[in-house]
Structures are given as C-alpha cells and as structure tokens.
Amino acid sequence: SFKACLDRLPFRFFYADTRLQTKHLVEILRKYIATADMCFFDVSTWNPNVALELGLAEGMGVEYYILLNRNLSKGVPSDIQGIQRIEYANYQDTDSDGGLLPLLVKYLMMEHTHPRRIWDSMESEPNRDRLFLLSLRVLAHFKDHKRLTSDQLTNLSRGTYIRKADREALLEQLDSLGLLGNIKSRYGATLKKNLYREPIQ
C-alpha cells in the first residue's frame, strides 16, 4: 500500500487528520503543511481534499511534490499539467522502472545528508542499489522501534536477496557513519542520532 511504501523511508510522515474537529478544516491542514519539511500530494484520483491541500501548499510557499499513479489516473488536471511530477506504476521498492519508493529515493532522498553519505560510502559495492534501499529500511525501522534485532534485520531484508554477511557489514557501515550503535549487542542495534520529529499534535 501507499503508506507501507512510505514507511520504508527514513522520514517521519504525517497524514492530515481531517476528522471533525472544532477548528475549521483549512486551519487543520494549514498546521500540517506549515510544520512539514516537504509535502506530497497524490493526484491519481484527484480527490477534492488533495486539491485543497495542494492549493494551500502553493499559497504558503512550502516545498511540495506531486505524485501520480499512471495506472490509476486518467490524466492530470489542466491546472497543474505544467508542474513536474513523480509518475509511478506500483509500490514495489525493488522495481526501479516504476516503483514509487525507488523514484522517491532517486529524486528526493539523495539530497538529504544521511542518505547521501550512505550512498557515497557504498561506491565500491556491487549490490549498491539493494544495500542502499536496505539501509533506508533499517533507518526507517527506528521511527517506531528503539532497537533492531538480528531477526528484525532478517525481516527487513526479505526480497532483497542480500546475504547475512552483507547485512552485518551494512550495520558496521552505518555504525562507522555514526548512525547506529551497539551493533554487536544481543539486545539489538540502536540509533545514535535522533532523525525523527515527534508526531504533530
């Protein structure tokens, strides 16, 4: 699913809560948009709320990106046809030709400090793409967990075909970059840096 795909990235994502509250919907959305470092708007089904959110982001001058599932969409509304967008075909993180996650990594993640350092440190690795995606899964794991056990690392690496020795080497690499600690602990590795903001209240 869309949410499961985004959960594999080392960003904390906030989904606008549009349940009935005493504040007006526009004020609720404005709070989310103003707090976020960047916004994503999926216009595949052209939901009216998404149109409102997109208009607010544009008016507030925040950084935002338009997503479009080319298998669901019947085209982009004429109002935003001239704006660049990330077009994807599925949520698979191993499909570099149309997977949403590899496209987000390619166009957005590489510009941020930690992913760039990780990518650069893997320059000589033959499985660089797969190891990099696994490293992002590892960092994303710490959004909701304090530790990463060997069993959890095995689960995160499913579908990547990365051997155990290479997974352990990856943890050592993240440790050398100052991102992980306690990688040899039987209780599991820990995150050295606080990469995630607390959820919006």
Per-residue pLDDT tens for 142-188?
988 999 999 999 999 988 889 999 999 999 999 999 999 999 999 99
pLDDT at 36 over 70: yes
What's the longest Cα–Cα distance across the chain?
56
Higher pLDDT, 181 or 18: 181
d(CA 8, CA 144) in angstroms, rounded, equals: 11
- Burial of residue 146 (CB within 10 Å: 0-12, 13-18, 19+) is exposed
- pLDDT above 90 for 27: no
Give the confidence band of 52 by pLDDT, cuts at 50, 70, 90.
confident
Structure tokens at 98: 């149309």
Contact 139, 180 (CB under 8 A): no
User: Average pLDDT of 3-24?
Assistant: 71
| Phi, then psi, of 13 in degrees rounded to 5 | -100, 140
How far is it, in rounded angstroms, from Cα 28 to Cα 10? 25
User: What whole-number distance in Å separates Cα of residue 146 and Cα of residue 134?
Assistant: 18
Whole-prediction pTM = 0.68
Residue found under tokens 């470092």:
37
pLDDT digits (tens, 9 = 90+) for 71-125: 876 666 666 666 778 888 888 766 566 888 888 877 776 666 678 888 889 999 8
- Per-residue pLDDT at 199: 54
Q: CA neighbours within 13 Å on the CB side: how many for 12?
A: 14
Measure the CA–CA gap between 18 and 69, rounded to whole angstroms.
Answer: 23
